[in-house]
Amino acid sequence: MAIAVDRALDQIREKVEANVRLDLEDGLTLLESDDLLALGELADLSRRVRGGDDKVYFVQNLYLNQTNVCRVKCKFCAFAATQKQEQAYTTTPEELVADALAQREVTGFTEIHMVNGENPHVDFEFYRDTIRRLHEAMPDVHLKCYTASEIHHMTTLSGLSHEEVLRELKAVGLGSLPGGGAEIFAERVRRLVTPGKEHPDIWFHVHDAAHKMGIPTHCTMLYGHVETYEERIDHLLRLRDQQDKTGGFLAFVPLAFHPENTVFERRGFTFQTGAEDLKMLAVSRLMLDNIANIKAYWISLTMPVAQIALHMGANDVQGTVVRESIFHSAGATTGTEQKIAELVRVVQEAGRIPVQRDTLYNEVRRWES
């Protein structure tokens, strides 16, 4: 059996060296392999075959969550609340801007990353006014805000189409979309873990519309709950197909499921191992041949695992990530912020070149070894 697996990996290596696209069966072979070092070496080879070098990126950013009130009861989420729960909050646009300005005096971030619950008690003007005020107060800060699910929620609130919502938000300063809300695209999985969420086709429609009007986006996958290996690879292939069509994804972020404080914790689910996280990163790099940047999200991985990931296909360690709360609600024990000096140290000790970027991967500063 081991010989057959080794031969299958050899065949995949031949494809990678020839820059030939991998298929579903290749993806399953990779996920079923226990040879983590071989997978990492293949992923790094794949990255270099497609033009990758020793640069590793990060951005100086601020995470904001304006409201945790949400109409959807996703079973994997420990962040959302109903309006009546004690922990529920909704911050006004004025309060949010004041908070962001105060934080900028401390950190000088170039990006705001904001996602929220789908609050049914606000209107579309709440979102538009938030973007407008943030942009007017900090015109040089890139606003990476609102998942596809939130954009869809805004169409429900406003009666507008996805395109109209995006056009209005772009007009007042929206720069790009994060990739959240993708979870796993397989309908079987979504019925089990996100029964109140929209069909996955809507996620694609929002991102497709954004790409066509010049709004870049990001993409994600939440793995390690009830999905199969086949459903993971199918998810990656759907993202690859979309990137073929529009080329609008800046980066892919594999997100390990954190079960603490969710229904899955009561069902006996545990955290993913570091080995499983590294395998998923490597497979993502190998399958997503048309998405240049794969992020090792240190908030969920921990910094030591993220550092190893830089030799397994990842070329981005996300950023300073001030005040992340969603993963911490689900049991993440990492800090909520990394200083630039620490990110630089981690990248250099991995034998790579740290590059501070902006959201669009323009170089801001480079640290040569």
Tens place of pLDDT per residue across the chain (369 aa): 556 667 899 999 999 999 999 999 999 999 999 999 999 999 999 999 999 999 999 999 999 999 988 877 665 566 567 677 878 899 999 999 999 999 998 888 999 999 998 899 999 999 999 999 999 999 999 999 999 999 999 999 999 999 999 999 999 999 999 999 899 999 999 888 887 778 899 999 999 999 999 999 999 999 988 899 999 999 999 999 999 999 999 999 999 886 555 555 455 555 568 899 999 999 999 999 999 999 998 887 888 999 999 999 999 998 886 653 443 343 334 444 578 888 899 999 999 999 999 999 999 999 986
The CA-atom distances, in angstroms, between 126 and each of 4, 102, 107, 173 are: 58, 21, 27, 14
Q: Can you tell me the distance from the alpha carbon of 340 to that of 355, in angstroms, rounded to the nearest whole number?
A: 10
Continuous segment of H or E residues that includes residue 59: strand 55-59
**Residue 64: left (phi > 0), alpha (psi -120 to 50), or beta?**
beta
Domains of the chain: 53-366 (3.20.20.70)
**Pairing between β-strand 316-319 and β-strand 55-59 as defined by DSSP bridges:** parallel
pTM: 0.90
Query: Quick one: which of 316, 345, 340 has its CA closest to 57?
Result: 316
Give, as one character, the DSSP assignment of residue 155.
Answer: H
Q: What confidence score (pLDDT) does residue 339 get? A: 83
Q: What confidence score (pLDDT) does residue 324 get? A: 38
